[in-house]
Structure 1
């Protein structure tokens, strides 16, 4: 290429860049957006500023990422083993109090009772009031809420001992409004489920509410109890008996369907959001689902997967996380698909909901882009066009 042609090419490119405002655009350029801003909040070199960990995918890490990470109800609340939790009386419960005496002629059973069936009376049903009390004649107001039924029975007996003949008291709970669990979300019959002293587990109350209305693999169960929350997938809950813990009064269970998706960007066959659908995915399957790598653009050695990982998992890999304040740490996993054995690894590496796959362009692609621009703006310069085309084609041959 002659010196005159080179100078002309540079001049043409400079002219084009200087007059870029005349080139058709769909909207304002980023130069205009930045220059006309009244106030700018930015960082040095316009970096986002989020630190992350870079991990190359290899056989040594596969054991930690071969299955989806799912939280636990058992670890969060316990209750998977042992008997059902005791259920005390509570405000709003309806109870009946029956009082037995050893013989007629006592406080409640008159001497002329005749042929009445048994020496007892049953008081009219009553609700435990907002103060947590019930009322029993000659015993007064008695604290019931928060206490076991047997405790309240013994107290009434003690209070009546000096008036009734060897009194015995039996309390029957006719309605347990304080011992209910709310089941909401993607169930066929959302409702409040009354739990009994025999104990109900999570799947029991979900079943009472009509069962789930979405595919099990996309359904998650969230348990809320006294300000604490834990979530687990329905499949793991149903397949792991220890996770099917007892519910407690006042619990709220949310059943929700979450479309499990991942994003694919860069030099993949298709960019966008993709559903897991009704199955689990490996990284290899996700790459295939998004169209694979583009032969003309992709750098197989730079296939990245973006995910947040809990610090405990990274500690198992002997990764120092002291530079991070959060327990959820951004991680980029990198796969080198130029290595034949990497295809075995990505087929074992499990995808998780909301993962992002990014496939980088090969370095030669950026050079070809530049040469294409030079070719387009220098076509009026004699000899330059053919030289650029020849150079571009040579680079493509090297890249291929």
Structure 2
């Protein structure tokens, strides 16, 4: 009887070994050993180490201040946009204007006594382009400064210089072409172009509308406003949600629509793995985890949540990190968040995610034991089935 049982066990072991090496078992492709054995040349380091040095930073009260979510940028606070009225549109270089001079009666400086059938007691001067000197020329008044002044100011100046020679003169200045008050709308809009500002005043969204609207999804589009030497960028959605950000434009402004698809990648013991869009203007680590389905209670180790990112050398130096062993201006950094600590959730709420970050949630140590037990259970079950088959 003992011999019979020993024979069955020997057969069982041989049967299992045969199955483990059988090439007919289901497989999605060659395993690692086959790939390595069939390679003509293998280029690898000892123990298959990748060989990329990186810095490990724990997210805590000391490091968080350098990487927390920035305050939202505001066009209104950056440029002082007014809510009630548009900016004044003064005359500028290259503008084409028309000047009409009225007199109270004929026989004056511009209206002859025998005006006869003239349609009115006024004269219209030929159109003039404001020259590089910033002036226009008016007969009997000379050169009149126009650049940087409103039409009303130029009219008053002309009247002042003609009042002792013309009969109760009145002046009307009309803008024919306003090249100096143009704004440019560029980037991801349907019809990039230059547009003239009007006295009614155009806002940021008006300019985008004149350019045919956005050519890409608004949720992933940033709007940059350039004015003289100042630049500010906000999300298109932020302008829609907050009308105060839809400020009036000024002559010479440039509006740039920039479609940037910002993504991050999630691996490990999270509810979902894959690539995710930011969607929000400012995405924090807690937001990123929530979009990925959170941590899996049965697998995740909350104390070992990692964010992989490259960080500028100077940023680490400002933190007091010794970066002498690293080369180059960009250093690989792994941020480690401890969400097992209740205070760790506050750091996750403040830590700002960046485009192309990699978020990895580590497995708990017990998961490896569970994997081993699953394998052992599978082998035991197979052995039992094979033993029954032998009987």
| Residues 1:26 and 1:205: Cα distance change in structure 2 (over 3 Å) | farther
Larger Rg: 2
**Does 1:336 find its partner at 2:330?**
no
**2-side partners of 1:257 and 1:195: how far apart?**
25
With normalisation by structure 2, the TM-score equals 0.65
Q: Secondary structure at the match of 1:232?
A: strand
Q: Secondary structure at the match of 1:55?
A: coil
**Does 1:55 find its partner at 2:57?**
no
**2-side partners of 1:191 and 1:275: how far apart?**
30
Q: Secondary structure at the match of 2:59?
A: strand
Deviates further, 212-221 or 224-233? 212-221
Q: Which residue of 2 aligns with 1:37?
A: none
2:90 to 88, 94, 98: 88
Deviates further, 76-85 or 299-308? 299-308
Gaps of at least 5 residues in structure 1 are 1-20, 35-44, 310-320, 325-329, 370-388, 395-400
8 Å CA contact 2:184–2:255 kept in 1: the answer is yes
**2-side partners of 1:117 and 1:307: how far apart?**
77
Q: Which residue of 1 aligns with 2:330?
A: none
- Tell me how far 1:333 sits from its aligned partner: 6.6
- Tell me how far 1:352 sits from its aligned partner: 4.7
| Residues 1:227 and 1:281: Cα distance change in structure 2 (over 3 Å) | closer
| Cα root mean square deviation, aligned | 4.5
- Tell me how far 1:197 sits from its aligned partner: 2.4
8 Å CA contact 1:55–1:331 kept in 2: the answer is no
Aligned residues: 317
- Deviations 1:65-114, CA, capped at 9 Å, x for gaps: 7xx95321112111143422111100111100011111111111111001
With normalisation by structure 1, the TM-score equals 0.64
1:112 to 108, 111, 114: 114
**2-side partners of 1:123 and 1:362: how far apart?**
86
- Deviations 1:347-370, CA, capped at 9 Å, x for gaps: 98897552441223545789999x
8 Å CA contact 2:60–2:344 kept in 1: the answer is no
- Deviations 1:118-155, CA, capped at 9 Å, x for gaps: 21111111211222221212222222111222222122
**1-side partners of 2:334 and 2:244: how far apart?**
31
Q: Which residue of 2 aligns with 1:397?
A: none
**2-side partners of 1:103 and 1:172: how far apart?**
22
1:78 to 59, 80, 85: 80
2:178 to 151, 176, 179: 176
| Residues 1:84 and 1:117: Cα distance change in structure 2 (over 3 Å) | same
**2-side partners of 1:26 and 1:150: how far apart?**
83
Q: Secondary structure at the match of 1:92?
A: coil
Q: Secondary structure at the match of 1:238?
A: helix
**1-side partners of 2:338 and 2:229: how far apart?**
41
8 Å CA contact 1:55–1:333 kept in 2: the answer is no
| Residues 1:22 and 1:149: Cα distance change in structure 2 (over 3 Å) | same
Gaps of at least 5 residues in structure 2 are 1-35, 312-317, 322-332, 378-391
1:141 to 143, 152, 165: 143
| Residues 1:55 and 1:159: Cα distance change in structure 2 (over 3 Å) | same
Q: Which residue of 2 aligns with 1:255?
A: 257
8 Å CA contact 1:95–1:171 kept in 2: the answer is yes
**2-side partners of 1:47 and 1:282: how far apart?**
26
- Deviations 1:3-42, CA, capped at 9 Å, x for gaps: xxxxxxxxxxxxxxxxxx99969763357xx9xxxxxxxx
